[in-house]
Amino acid sequence: MTGPEHYREAERLADQAHHFTYGDGADPVTGAALAAEAQAHATLALAAAFALSRFDMPTRDYEAWEHAAMTPEPKTADEQDGDED
């Protein structure tokens, strides 16, 4: 997952946690588990955002973070035509 994907997943899970803890879901155990999972995704999103804002790290480390955390460039029409998935 990219940093932005972790952020979106954290928001989605936090909403579900609220529903189960305080809303119609009425299952605080599930709500707590979802909140913990949301926190993990939020932490990973923060780590990605912080790492990608650091231009003073060695190039190979920045490139590793860039590969792991950044959203990939959209495929061109030519690249999409070759996809068989």
How high is the pLDDT of residue 82?
63
Record the tokens describing residue 52, joined without a space: 């990608």
Record the tokens describing residue 50, joined without a space: 């912080």
Q: What mean pLDDT do residues 40-57 have?
A: 89
* HSE value, Cβ hemisphere, 13 Å, CA-based, for 40: 7
What would the pLDDT profile of 8-42 be if each residue is shown by its tens digit?
Answer: 999 999 999 999 999 887 899 999 999 999 999 99
How high is the pLDDT of residue 66?
80
